[in-house]
Amino acid sequence: MIATVPNPLDDPTETTLTAGDLEAIFVPGHGMLGISLRQDGVEFLRRVDDLKAYAAKNQTAGIPFLFPWANRLAGFQYEVAERGVTLSAHSPLLRYDNNGLPMHGVMWPHLAWNIVDKGPDHLTASLDWSHPRALVLFPYPCKLTMTASVEPTGLTIETSLTATSDIQVPVSFGFHPYIGLPYLPRKDWRVNLPAMRHLVLNSKNIPTGASEAFAGLDDTLGDRDFDDGFKLLGDQATLSVAGGGKRISVDLLEGYPYTQVYAPHTHDYLAFEPMTAPTNALVSGKALRLVEPGDIFRAKFRIRIGQDA
């Protein structure tokens, strides 16, 4: 269901999950957005300082769910499973990048999830993708279910997509967790990336279809900028950032064979983004999986917070 509530901080669905010294907060009524991840009272999420402003500008924040596509599309038209779509360049539901391309799908302020189950350490919510305003943008009826659960060392987010009609549903969603280390300048953060395939991008950050070997990285950020796409070499991978005695790891556990690493040198955050498909998959068809009618697609990732060895 698509809805808009003007002030995220007034959302009655806001739910706090706790396990030991770890606390996570989600707002199902606003896109199932993760707005806090604290350990011992220290915040490890970024872009959570002014949610009202981010909502008003259709900007990503915290841990946003990116649906029906993660990252950007190369244009405003796509065709999958014999259904063609023409997106508006002025839709209030969408966000656009600096080149005017549609980016990250329908923004979190416009997606109202329903709570299915919750307890002290877990929350499950669902989203019925059948509203006419939603189907104009992505004409593939489906049901999304997300469970966020915490344990003392981390947060796990499991997402499933069920094809609810007689139409195949393309899968190209992802997440964009903004994370950061406290008490340490960004230039001193040490990033660890595994060996992967590095996707070659054009001038508009759209994959060209080519890729090259990437041996991995274990080094401080310094003045590096990242906005790079990667394909995993296996089914799982861990990407991490460490410093000041802490390490934040993002474990890609199931259903995420691609990731985007985003670390602009002008900001004190970075993102290791779980992606079910490469950027622009709805347009290019590259590595785009289709869920058959009645079938379920599942994906899972985890954010761990621990001591830096």
Q: What is the pLDDT of residue 7?
A: 46
pLDDT (tens digit per residue) in 189-207? 999 999 999 999 999 999 9
Contacts of 101 (CB under 8 A, 6+ apart): 72, 73, 74, 75, 204
- Domain of residue 199, CATH code: 2.70.98.10
Please give the structure tokens belonging to residue 308: 């830096």
pLDDT (tens digit per residue) in 176-191? 999 999 999 999 999 9
Structural domain contains residue 181? yes
Q: What is the pLDDT of residue 172?
A: 98
pLDDT (tens digit per residue) in 217-265? 999 999 999 999 999 999 999 999 999 999 999 999 999 999 999 999 9
Query: Distance of CA 86 to CAs 78, 89, 135, 157, 208, Å?
Result: 7, 9, 12, 31, 22
DSSP3 helix / strand / coil % (the chain, rounded to 5): 10, 50, 40
Structural domain contains residue 2? no
| This prediction's pTM | 0.96
Structural domain contains residue 100? yes
Structural domain contains residue 248? yes
Structural domain contains residue 3? no
Structural domain contains residue 35? yes
Question: Is residue 117 predicted with pLDDT exceeding 90?
Answer: yes
User: Length of the chain in residues, anyone?
Assistant: 309
Q: What range does the domain containing 15 cover?
A: 8-307
Structural domain contains residue 1? no
Considering its fold, how many domains does the chain have in total?
Answer: 1
Question: Is residue 5 predicted with pLDDT exceeding 90?
Answer: no
pLDDT (tens digit per residue) in 148-180? 999 999 999 999 999 999 999 999 999 999 999
